[in-house]
Structure 1
Amino acid sequence: MRKGDHIYFNCGGYTHHGIDCGDGTVIHYTKNQRNISRISWDSFASGKTVFVREYGSCDFPDVVIQRAESRLGENIYDLFGNNCEHFATWCKTGIHASEQVKNAGATTGGASVSGAAVAGSIGVVSAAGAAAGLSGAGIMSGLATVGGLVGGGAVAGIGALGMAPATITTLAMNSVLEDNENLTSEEREARAVGRTMTTVGAAAGTAGAVGAVAAAGSVAGLSAAGITSGLAAVGATVGGGMAAGVAITVAAPAVAAAAVGYGAYCFWKWISE
């Protein structure tokens, strides 16, 4: 560890951050008293493994320490707006930011809105077709109507309905993996790969969902009978019927976008080490 390092340790579902003063002490926002104080290294670490957050661009150690010392005694801690990570990042860069808060907001908000979009798609299917409701005929006519809006049929309807949750998830992942000039070149490259693969994952999820419908049913293929039996078979995997199958296939691109994007990011970081 070096003077002015941004250090942190894992606490299970979150991380705690501070600034190494280089003299055996650490300045941080205390977890219990909620004020900025200087404590010994051992007291800060509390027996845990301490890591250094690497930066591609940051201020000189003396500036970092000066900033940290200028706020000693502050007691306006706020979990979402002024926590220990906000403080340590500001000391290093002059930018008040928390990756934990940003990522939690993006993932929670993205999951909520994406889930609402999936639920809303069932309502659209139920209401859009010539045969209303969620009977087999109602679902098929609803999908055909939605698909007709993009120049296709029921299969296109599945893809069109999946666009909203996939787009929302992609935006959320792009926020989590957004570029930042203060990051190391390796981290920035891994995030760029993750953002690209999120989009690839969304497309792959759509293709995979359609392929699953075509292959899963008692009638193979993408005829009306094939789609009907395929959606029923997909829905049966969670104890439901065709409506559940629609929900799963509509959600698949969003799930794939998040899984492929984040997986690619982690893999790229791993091979870059």
Structure 2
Amino acid sequence: MGLLSNRVERTQIKAGDHIYTWRAIYTYSHHGIYVGGSKVVHFTREQNASSSISYPSSASKLPSACPIFPDCGFRQPNSGVILSCLDCFLGNGSLYHFEYEVTPSYFLAKVRGGTCTTAKPDPPETVIHRAMYLLQNGFGNYDVFQNNCEDFALYCKTGLLVLDKSGVGRSGQASSVIGAPLAALLSSPLKLLIPGPAGVATVTAGMYCMSRYATDIGVRTDVIKVAVEDMDAILDWSGTSEEEAEDKEASDRQNSHSLTGSSLIVKQKASRWQWRRALMLGSGETREGS
């Protein structure tokens, strides 16, 4: 491993390591947690799930059946967390090791995002526990920018989650995709002050690196440490499908309408009672006056 490449041999990885492999001619990387025994737990798009965003899906690379490991491909219904053997995880790609606790200078020198972080990892046994727990309970809905395979691996290694769900997630790969055009946009007004295209390119590259560093999970301040057993309660990651969520929403609306109707009936009965009481009081006053 080094500044140019994090490529490793299979004999170099240990249980609890965050590993990844490049797909589609280095277009994007797919991440997972090596749990030992030639097995990897990783996060993919759910089977038969659709998305309005066109993006390479790592799930399409998974074989339907593994000839070596019978439990390869195991996943819970409506969950994107899957157990694969190392061969099926890599496909035809090479094996890379994700680095933790790197220095800021080392991080900035890595031009490609999604290869390292300044965050401190937890012990291997904790990492494996999180990965296996999420294999049974799910990791929410897959999202390219806010909840992808790298986000899954980063959480398993650190236990850190981003509080602001409206922005980019923990993934360095996603922040690189967003950071490049943002850097170009921010540097455009500076073109009038910087002589020559070389100066503009330098400023753009610097802004890109700084924006990527600012979104690193080891630097940003909008993250919290969350126990894996508490994720359902804190983030409402129940692993239910969209159909179940829609059914629940329809049921809630129906119950709301029923309660509204009951309230109207109660109000009508109360109004009739008040009207009758007023008549009785009026009759009593008339009799007393006579």
Q: TM-score with structure 2 length normalisation?
A: 0.43
Q: Which has the larger radius of gyration?
A: 2
Structure with the higher fraction of residues in helix conformation: 1
Higher relative contact order by CA 8 Å / sep ≥ 6: 1 or 2?
2
Q: TM-score with structure 1 length normalisation?
A: 0.46
